Amino acid sequence: MASSDDDGPSARDFFAVGSSSFSEFLAAHRPELLPTRRPFPDGVRAAPDRFPHGTTVLALAYRDGVMIAGDRRATMGNLIAQRDLEKVHPADDHTAVAFAGTVGLALDMVKLYQVELKHFEKVEGIPMTLGAKATRLAGMIRQNLGQAMQGLAVVPLLAGYDTGARDGRRGRIFGFDVTGGAYEKSDFHAEGSGSPYARGALKKLFHPDMTRREAALAALQALYDAADDDSATGGPDLGRRIFPIVSVITAEGFERLPEPETEDLTREMVEQRRSRPDGPNATP
């Protein structure tokens, strides 16, 4: 059992009355463990080709909830750093987070956010509302502003099924900027260097009564368009059997589409592109 500040928090610290935020607990007792610490002295910026960066991620609402998806590529400048990166993660039973930006920091932020939500629920006895989850994630991004200014930005995308919504759609999507601004998005959104092309594809394919299959195909088409015009976004790799990650959040909770289902839909989409390279027309 730790007994001094140098060794870490003591048993008394864990039972002291305080905030329900795990991040604030770490900041008070073990700040060096926070992923938001500046890695470089003031005035020093990270070289853009030295750290893996991930793109592109997107989310869209559909009939039963919300879908969130991402390509698998990470780049370092003109190099492909990783071909099978996982950018979409469950945050809790009814919330998922995806990320674009500096991979190492993003993965640490996702892990901290998962603990943050679990810690709050255990301390308060109830889960956070979806709006509060977005606010809490915005605060974590704001704490990372110093690193973002040094070239190590993380821009997440939050999607969730709002079990407390009384009317209207329960699938909700939140985008963020590097300063911690949180913005609820209607219908669909995308982040990362390929996001303008992904949003353009979703704009022509989206309709509010999409089935899970239609939403998945729209997400795959959007990621394909992003990879077609953005070299940092990876398209489906049929030879290596590396496909985008597609997940849904419904009343039943978070579910990642099984790989065989994603593979079948991806191959169907690629086959359609042979006769229509620019993708399907807008939904009438």
- The DSSP 8-state label assigned to residue 257 in this structure reads P
> How distant, in Å, are the alpha carbons of 62, 118, 135, 220 from that of 213?
10, 31, 31, 11
Q: Is the Cβ–Cβ distance between 180 and 135 less than 8 Å?
A: no
Q: What's the rounded Cα separation, in Å, for the pair 76 and 51?
A: 6
Question: How many angstroms separate the CA atoms of 275 and 259, rounded?
Answer: 25
Which of 140, 141, 127, 125 has its CA nearest to residue 92? 127
CB-side exposure of 137: number of CA atoms within 13 Å?
Answer: 36
CA distance linking residue 155 with residue 152, whole number of Å? 10
Catalytic residue among 36, 55, 233, 250: 55
* Long-range pairs, 170-177, Cβ under 8 A, ≥24: 170/65, 170/251, 171/61, 171/62, 171/64, 171/65, 171/66, 171/249, 172/61, 172/66, 172/130, 173/59, 173/60, 173/61, 173/66, 174/134, 174/137, 176/137, 176/138, 176/141, 177/141
Distance CA 75, CA 233 (A): 9
Which run of H or of E encompasses 55?
none
Strand, coil or helix: 110? helix
Indicate the residue type of 215.
Answer: A
36 catalytic residue (yes or no): no
**Could you list the active site residues?**
55
